[in-house]
Amino acid sequence: MILPPVVAGVTWRLIYNPNFGVLNGILRLFGLDTRRWTWLADPSLALPAVILVDVWEWTPFVFLILLAGLQAIPQEPYEAARIDGANAWQTFFHITLPLLIPAILVALLLRTMDLLRIFDQIFILTQGGPGFATETVSLYIYKTAFRFYDFGYAAVLSIVLLAVTMVLCRLYLRFLKPNALE
């Protein structure tokens, strides 16, 4: 989580290398033929490979948010549930999960905003390819501005991306916690 996304992208690009990458090396140890597995060049494998890198990098952040949420839950509801005879599952579903919803909401909001603007890892890993298999809106905006030199259109796309991000965040707040916007 503390690695810059560019460093994580370069590291995983080496891991995914079809010739000398660690992943294909480990799979070859198990007797699998990995010559046809080009993780970042195959359109059917590139997107799952990029998703794996993102999950690998940001799962600790989500866990830290959830851990902070768990530590903020007071002990009194658990004591009352124990006195009332609630088992572990009842305690989890009726006390822990409802009190953890604000932390889950924060994690979902931050990850959604981050995923809408993801650029650096995909640029390092695949540059949006093969074809358009891993191209994101941020990468498209970059290509529009700096490869096709259409800065006006790229600026409009950036504003639209900001608006979509704001609308999605508002929808999260509306549907996941109805009283959050009042």
- CATH code for the domain of 159: 1.10.3720.10
Residue 158 has pLDDT above 80, yes or no: yes
Helix then strand then coil, in percent of the chain rounded to 5, is: 70, 0, 30
In a domain, 71, yes or no: yes
**The pLDDT value given to residue 181:** 46
**The pLDDT value given to residue 87:** 93
Residue 78 has pLDDT above 70, yes or no: yes
Radius of gyration of the chain (CA): 21
**DSSP at 93:** I
As separate numbers, helices (DSSP H) first and strands (DSSP E) second, the chain gives 9, 0
Residue 109 has pLDDT above 60, yes or no: yes
Q: What is the mean pLDDT of the chain?
A: 90
Instruction: Report residue 177's pLDDT band, with 50, 70 and 90 as the boundaries.
Output: low
Q: Which single residue is written with the structure tokens 């590291």?
A: 11
CB 112 within 8 A of CB 170: no
Give the mean model confidence (pLDDT) for residues 84-101: 92
Domain with 158, as residue range(s), is 5-176
Give the mean model confidence (pLDDT) for residues 20-44: 88
In a domain, 181, yes or no: no
Instruction: Report residue 74's pLDDT band, with 50, 70 and 90 as the boundaries.
Output: very high
Q: How many domains are there within the chain?
A: 1
